[in-house]
């Protein structure tokens, strides 16, 4: 480990935590300035925190790649572990000791989810933007051995941003749809029969699609990208048709779904070209 890598091991978690806290606090202050307090719920807080953590983590991984070199997933987990006491120190400074203890005591599940969300932001960002394998060894190949593969060019900025967007939208859509399903079930809706059963099945399929698209964006199904984009497009057609059938107020929803599928299709084409 050279000096730059050693410095980055400590400086990047500090920068990540500071930038994350500033972004979240700035977003909350903007919401307060707009006077819209109806969105200030625990669910919205979690979604806002997750989006901020992932955005800052992607920026940190990008800077690390440009300044130090590619960041591996294993190293990102180490940096994420280092960032945890720094995040706790930030909460201690802003909330005080009593407030921090009360936070973990009164809402332990929310506190654990918050810290887990921040912990996994760097590894997820690294999985999206990081290297996919070891670089080929340099030098002359042994007699009879296959020639070393030519290193692949780095992904374009557009493709990287598209993968980040698909991953982020998929996570947010999964969280929003899942919370909606839990709330509806809590109020006694969505029975597994008749029209409610069909609607429940449609939501469960949508949840599965969001998970599948997220896994594709982080490179898990690279060998099946050509099939993956067709699967998502075919599944999306009934949803688009249903939204168009419901009336003019749902046309924008159909446009959003079509745009999401189009972005996923373009992402798969770009990743397949580099595979």
Query: 105-163 pLDDT, tens per residue?
Result: 777 777 777 888 888 888 888 877 755 544 444 445 555 555 555 555 555 777 888 88
Give the tokens for residue 25. Answer: 């606090």
The pLDDT value recorded for residue 194 is 47
Q: What is the mean pLDDT of residues 161-166?
A: 86
pLDDT tens readout for residues 60-96: 888 888 888 888 888 888 888 888 888 888 888 877 8
The alpha carbon torsion through 15, 16, 20, 21 (nearest 10 deg) reads -50
16 and 119 co-located in one domain: yes
Q: Are 229 and 268 in contact (CB under 8 A)?
A: yes
Helix (H) or strand (E) holding 84: helix 73-106
263 and 174 co-located in one domain: yes
162 and 48 co-located in one domain: no
Q: What is the Cα–Cα distance from 228 to 174, expressed in whole angstroms?
A: 18
Q: What is the Cα–Cα distance from 72 to 1, expressed in whole angstroms?
A: 13
Q: How confident is the model at residue 37 (pLDDT cuts 50, 70, 90)?
A: low
Q: How many domains in the chain?
A: 2
Residue 138 lies in a domain: no
Domain of residue 237, residue span = 157-274
Q: What is the Cα–Cα distance from 74 to 77, expressed in whole angstroms?
A: 5
Residue 57 lies in a domain: yes
167 and 270 co-located in one domain: yes
Residue 146 lies in a domain: no
Nearest to 120 by CA among 87, 176, 88, 81: 81
- Integer-rounded Cα Rg, in Å, for the chain is 22
The pLDDT value recorded for residue 135 is 44
The pLDDT value recorded for residue 152 is 53
101 and 200 co-located in one domain: no
The pLDDT value recorded for residue 133 is 47
67 and 115 co-located in one domain: yes
Q: In the block, which residue shows the tokens 């020639």?
A: 147
Residue 152 lies in a domain: no
Residue 9 lies in a domain: yes
Residue 47 lies in a domain: yes
Burial of 257 (0-12, 13-18, 19+ CB in 10 A): middle
175 and 267 co-located in one domain: yes
79 and 166 co-located in one domain: no
């Amino acid at each position: 480990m050279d000096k730059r890598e050693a410095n980055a091991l400590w400086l990047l978690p500090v920068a990540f935590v500071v930038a994350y806290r500033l972004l979240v606090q700035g977003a909350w202050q903007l919401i307060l300035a707009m006077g819209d307090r109806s969105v200030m719920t625990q669910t919205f807080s979690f979604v806002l925190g997750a989006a901020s953590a992932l955005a800052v983590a992607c920026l940190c991984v990008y800077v690390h790649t440009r300044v130090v070199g590619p960041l591996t997933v294993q190293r990102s987990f180490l940096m994420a572990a280092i960032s945890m006491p720094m995040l706790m120190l930030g909460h201690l400074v802003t909330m005080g000791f009593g407030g921090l203890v009360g936070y973990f005591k009164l809402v332990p599940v929310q506190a654990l989810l918050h810290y887990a969300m921040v912990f996994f932001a760097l590894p997820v960002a690294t999985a999206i933007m990081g290297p996919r394998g070891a670089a080929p060894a340099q030098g002359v190949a042994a007699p009879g051995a296959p020639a070393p593969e030519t290193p692949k060019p780095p992904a374009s900025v557009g493709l990287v941003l598209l993968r980040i967007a698909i991953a982020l939208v998929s996570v947010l859509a999964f969280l929003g749809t899942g919370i909606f399903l839990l709330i509806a079930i809590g109020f006694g809706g969505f029975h597994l029969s008749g029209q409610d059963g069909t609607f429940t099945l449609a939501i469960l399929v949508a949840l599965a699609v969001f998970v599948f698209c997220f896994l594709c964006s982080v490179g898990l199904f690279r060998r099946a990208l050509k099939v993956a984009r067709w699967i998502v497009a075919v599944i999306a057609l009934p949803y688009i048709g249903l939204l168009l059938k419901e009336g003019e107020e749902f046309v924008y929803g159909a446009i959003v779904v079509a745009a999401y599928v189009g972005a996923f299709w373009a992402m798969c084409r770009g990743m397949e070209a580099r595979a």
